[in-house]
Structure 1
């Protein structure tokens, strides 16, 4: 009997010691994944990667994300790092009522970090990711993973989708509901079609976007402007017949399928498709299956679908249906940089700001910087 009690005591002590050791050890229950391997795109002379890091908590305890770093996989050198508010601003929790990444990642939750990295002159062969985290009753931990080798940059550079300018290239990676952060789940898979999307808004020398009553859609400076084929190719998809509101203030929300409004998809011949959205009703000049030439007018800029005002939504994806493809990198063969709007503040209200002398003027084989004001070169 004494022996049994002693054995039970020993087992209890061992279990307590084991539990204490587990509580003090780092909790490594995070899954790291990069579902879409990025390809670099040139932006104002810098090679940039845009991609998403998915973090899923497979443990039974909430984890607080303390820091995320992107490392050179060979040297271990940090290429970029985020902590605190900077980290919270880059992430969203999928499906959570409070989607902001400013607290703990609860068991079973997934966070998506939207990353943009300007690569050094000597680009690394591969990247990996380090995530630092903490949990109640445990020592802080860290995990490294999600190694990736960037894909080669796309060789095909595109012609202008519009004539002349000035055009404000409106997008910003940090906008919570901007193109960069909106996933669409179709056919059992979530995709991010607008990863590199740009809304082109026509402005004048004083920064105005309309003449006269700006609430009238037809008064927008870009309304009715010809939309051009950015390359030789075949029209892979086309939709017309969706009407538009007369006034911007009368715009309505549309269902999932009609959000892009009237659109065209141009097959570029390399597995990519150029998507043009919000086109003017009745303006489409081409049909599905028709072969077109670079610079050929395809339709006109309009105000259909879910649009905050007349503009051309343009992006490139790996599928011809606007919401069913993954957004992929692209660049324009040539355009002039005239200026920019910091954070798009003042668009339509005041002139844009001048760009630094070394960045102004003609840019070649690049994607315009966020909220740059440009003029297309034919």
Structure 2
């Protein structure tokens, strides 16, 4: 695990099995930048653990490279996203379109252009974050959940939520290389200027040596096979 300030504990925002290819448990900043509060951010995807390369989609690599993969064929697309703690909804942004399929070269080109060209003073933050929800968990502690499925958000600004309430569904909106959930804590509700806050998860399980082992107040690493059962013991 990398060194970081004492993390803030929240609940894991997903159910089922997941992989975190970008996580502060492996490197900081986890996304290679401190912009938009991403210093300690996580990305979560679902993969086929039985196949070589752990693909995140149904279909072969050749199809992905040439034709692209429809987003509905990604294992995580449409999975429910849950509130990581008790709080109040501060911002909701929905209605930003999702590209209907992924393609390696096209997605790389768009990602690079978005990172270089975005101006927080004039541009729609959804071009980076996609459809998103921002929760206030405590004073100067905000949770942001990005790239949600278009039309899936189930909360409105000003609404109180409890940990475990459904907020929306995993999608592919904004500057998204493939369907996934981007999750972060930050010190401001304004994504354009926020600083990231270190975050750990109060409970999840890691598959190791054929056994699911409970982890409390943990920070996943990028190769961990994670899960949170549908019935969360916490």
Q: Same fold (TM over 0.5)?
A: yes
Aligned residues: 204
Q: In the alignment, does 2:67 pair up with 1:237?
A: no
Q: 1:199 aligns with which of 31, 34, 43?
A: 43
Contact 1:171 1:371 in 2 (8 A): no
Corresponding position of 1:286: 155
Q: In the alignment, does 2:208 pair up with 1:334?
A: no
CA distance in 2, matches of 1:306, 1:180: 13
TM-fit CA distance, 1:299: 0.5
Q: Residue 372 of structure 1: SS of its match in structure 2? A: coil
| Residues 230-282 of structure 1, C-alpha deviations (whole Å, 9 max, x = no match) | 11110111111110111111544445222111111111114211110011111
Q: In the alignment, does 2:181 pair up with 1:312?
A: yes
Corresponding position of 1:219: 73
Q: 1:175 to 1:282 in 2, by over 3 A?
A: same
Contact 1:170 1:372 in 2 (8 A): no
TM-fit CA distance, 1:179: 4.1
Corresponding position of 2:121: none
Contact 2:34 2:196 in 1 (8 A): no
The ranges of structure 1 where at least 4 consecutive aligned residues each deviate by more than 4 angstroms after the TM superposition are 172-176
CA distance in 1, matches of 2:3, 2:49: 32
Q: 1:247 aligns with which of 101, 121, 138?
A: 101
Q: 1:370 aligns with which of 222, 226, 233?
A: 222
Q: In the alignment, does 2:193 pair up with 1:324?
A: yes
CA distance in 2, matches of 1:220, 1:325: 30
TM-fit CA distance, 1:205: 3.2
TM-fit CA distance, 1:182: 1.4
Using the size of structure 2 for normalisation, the TM-score is: 0.78
Contact 1:223 1:301 in 2 (8 A): yes
CA distance in 1, matches of 2:174, 2:164: 25
TM-fit CA distance, 1:364: 0.3
Corresponding position of 2:32: 181
TM-fit CA distance, 1:301: 0.3
| Residues 73-120 of structure 1, C-alpha deviations (whole Å, 9 max, x = no match) | xxxxxxxxxxxxxxxxxxxxxxxxxxxxxxxxxxxxxxxxxxxxxxxx
Structure 1: 5+ residue stretches without partners: 1-42, 51-149, 185-191, 340-353
| Residues 32-72 of structure 1, C-alpha deviations (whole Å, 9 max, x = no match) | xxxxxxxxxxx5xxxx533xxxxxxxxxxxxxxxxxxxxxx
CA distance in 1, matches of 2:186, 2:15: 22
